[in-house]
């Protein structure tokens, strides 16, 4: 069986799918896993070298799309609304030639509507879709889409409120296999820490902490701690633990958050300057990582690095790290878990709780205390 697995959101969501990917091979040792996405924030890159994955396809290559210089990850989705007729035909041909048997359409795949429409043209393959994901009956028709009425076999899989994303993904697989599974929740990536990447910043494994002041291109302020707190935290990490502090993130974090603050001299800023392999090494060799609900957080958890995760308005029930080396701090403000309790969007959160108010319930001393407990440091 060939399983087609999409990923169009980014690093954290593909990592959350890795237990299900391992589960597919446990149930069907001869299974072939095919991944398709646009590699936003390096999502595809963290799994493409795994022996569990047979094929990885970047849809931008299939469509022969070249991103303009400086094009942000967060802007890529807009490209799919202006495809040419030849690009649409090219994608249709690829889907026919891929010879997939099962398609898993989970709640976080964020699949471009044109791809959903083309997927549903297939008449033999099975589709397992989370119940809150739009199908073609509710999608705006792409201007170049001219298919007949979809005849795919689509199975809608319910999502239980308060359920972790890993469990929700396993639910798709159980509906496909029609049998209960032995659920193993360990996430994984196929990145290896390489000392040569540390030399670029004159670092040694274990002699530094990583912190991520931003999240998702520096744009999602409701779930980010105020930058001044990270500056204070960085100085206290230097003073208390005698370590260097490495800032990680993308170009958006650098532009919108990091560059606007004065950081201690011991801080090394790598935001926007790393490949996914270099980021994996920086995270994998760190003594501890402090991050928001983000791809960096999921990467640290998957690599088994001591992790302090900062949570405020996002749905902790679905995305919290499950690793034994992680500690979670919650910002208990009126905005706590608002995206879970009231389905409030990030845009509305920004309007109702500006200036990082949703994360104001976490103090620097709480983070320091969590780190000491995690690393078993006395005093």
Q: Please determine whether the domains at 2-177 and 195-375 fall in the same fold group of CATH.
A: yes
What CATH number has the domain spanning 195-375?
A: 3.40.50.2000
Task: Compare 89 and 42 and report the one with higher pLDDT.
Answer: 89
Q: Quick check: helix, strand or coil at residue 179?
A: coil
Residues with Cβ within 8 Å of 40's Cβ and at least 6 positions away in sequence, in order, are: 8, 9, 10, 73, 74, 76
Task: Compare 105 and 35 and report the one with higher pLDDT.
Answer: 35
pLDDT surpassing 50 at residue 138: no
Could you state, in order of their start, the residue ranges of all structural domains in the chain?
A: 2-177, 195-375
Residues 36 and 59: their CA atoms lie apart, in Å, by 6
pLDDT in tens, 286-323: 999 999 999 999 999 999 999 999 998 888 888 999 99
* CATH architecture of structural domain 2-177: 3-Layer(aba) Sandwich (3.40)
pLDDT for 81: 79
pLDDT surpassing 80 at residue 74: no
Structure tokens at 136: 């073609």
Nearest-5° Cα angle at 304, 203 to 14: 105
Task: Compare 68 and 158 and report the one with higher pLDDT.
Answer: 158
Residues 108 and 175: their CA atoms lie apart, in Å, by 18
């Amino acid at each position: 069986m060939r399983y087609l697995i999409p990923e169009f959101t980014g690093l954290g969501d593909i990592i959350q799918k890795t237990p299900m990917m391992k589960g597919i091979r446990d149930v069907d040792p001869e299974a072939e896993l095919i991944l398709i996405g646009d590699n936003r924030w390096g999502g595809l890159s963290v799994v493409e070298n795994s022996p569990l994955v047979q094929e990885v396809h970047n849809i931008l290559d299939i469509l022969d799309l070249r991103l303009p210089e400086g094009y942000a990850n967060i802007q890529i989705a807009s490209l799919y609304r202006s495809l040419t007729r030849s690009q649409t035909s090219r994608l249709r041909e690829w889907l026919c030639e891929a010879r997939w048997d099962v398609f898993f359409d989970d709640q976080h795949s964020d699949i471009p509507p044109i791809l959903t429409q083309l997927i549903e043209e297939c008449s033999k393959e099975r589709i397992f879709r989370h119940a809150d994901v739009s199908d073609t009956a509710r999608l705006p028709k792409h201007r170049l889409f001219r298919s007949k009425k979809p005849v795919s076999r689509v199975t809608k899989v319910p999502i239980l409120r308060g359920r972790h994303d890993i469990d929700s993904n396993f639910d798709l697989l159980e509906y496909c296999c029609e049998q209960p599974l032995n659920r193993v929740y360990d996430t994984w990536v196929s990145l290896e820490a390489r000392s040569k990447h540390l030399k670029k910043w004159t670092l040694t494994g274990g002699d530094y902490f990583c912190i991520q002041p931003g999240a998702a291109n520096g744009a999602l302020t409701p779930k980010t701690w105020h930058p001044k707190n990270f500056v204070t935290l960085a100085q206290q990490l230097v003073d208390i633990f005698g370590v260097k502090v490495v800032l990680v993130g993308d170009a958006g974090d650098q532009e919108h958050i990091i560059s606007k603050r004065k950081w201690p001299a011991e801080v090394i800023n790598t935001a926007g300057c790393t490949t996914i392999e270099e980021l994996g090494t920086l995270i994998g060799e760190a003594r501890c990582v402090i991050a928001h609900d983000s791809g960096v957080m999921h990467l640290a958890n998957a690599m088994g690095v001591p992790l302090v995760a900062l949570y405020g308005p996002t749905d902790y029930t679905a995305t919290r790290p499950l690793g034994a080396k992680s500690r979670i701090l919650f910002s208990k403000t009126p905005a706590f878990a608002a995206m879970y309790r009231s389905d409030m969007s990030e845009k509305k959160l920004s309007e109702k709780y500006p200036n990082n108010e949703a994360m104001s319930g976490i103090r620097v001393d709480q983070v320091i205390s969590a780190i000491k407990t995690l690393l078993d440091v006395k005093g």
